[in-house]
Amino acid sequence: MRTMIAALLGISLLAGTAAAKPPLREVAEIDDALLDLGIADRIRKECPEISARLFKAVSYVRGLEKQAKAMGYSDAEIEAYTDSDVEKDRMKARGAAFFKARGVDTSDPQSYCALGNAEIQKGSRIGSLLRAK
């Protein structure tokens, strides 16, 4: 009987481990979407010729929150991820790598404009959050 109880307990512990959620930073569909949001925000701040599609951005953020909740993440887990200074620094580093890989000269606003306009033309997720003035 003890062996059976121990086996059942072991199975339930393994099931709990398998059901554990990864940190949100490891959920690519959320993490990459937030990166794109941050990139779009940086483009609109640096390029005087491009503005944000604010209602779209707000809807986008709400959609990400809803998606994370549907995946089983609590409000506290979502907030801990989005408010974390470590995560913000990691996202800034990813954004810097994105800009560098696309040849953006961070001292030249027109460089951001060229990237932003290209993203708008492509209809990318980043471009969908931006509009040319």
What are the pLDDT digits (tens) for 55-113? 999 999 999 999 999 999 999 999 999 999 999 999 999 999 999 999 999 999 999 99
Q: Is residue 75 domain-resident?
A: yes
Number of compact structural domains in the chain: 1
**pLDDT at 46 exceeding the cut of 60:** yes
Nearest to 95, CA basis, from 47, 31, 29, 51: 31
Q: Is residue 10 domain-resident?
A: no
**pLDDT at 128 exceeding the cut of 50:** yes
**pLDDT at 17 exceeding the cut of 60:** no
Confidence of residue 20 (pLDDT cuts 50, 70, 90): confident
Q: Is residue 127 domain-resident?
A: yes
Q: Is residue 9 domain-resident?
A: no
CA atoms of 85 and 14, how far apart (whole Å): 33
Q: Is residue 16 domain-resident?
A: no
Confidence of residue 8 (pLDDT cuts 50, 70, 90): very low
Q: Is residue 2 domain-resident?
A: no
**pLDDT at 3 exceeding the cut of 50:** no
Q: Is residue 68 domain-resident?
A: yes
Q: Is residue 90 domain-resident?
A: yes
- Give the domain extent around 86: 25-132
Q: Which of the two residues, 74 and 2, has the higher pLDDT score?
A: 74
**pLDDT at 26 exceeding the cut of 50:** yes
**What's the whole-model pTM score?**
0.82
User: Considering the chain, what is the average pLDDT of its residues?
Assistant: 88
- DSSP letters spanning the chain: -HHHHHHHHHHHHHHHHHTPPPPGGG-HHHHHHHHHHHHHHHHHHH-TTEEE-HHHHHHHHHHHHHHHHHTT--HHHHHHHHH-HHHHHHHHHHHHHHHHHTT--TT-HHHHHHHHHHHHHHT-HHHHTEEE-
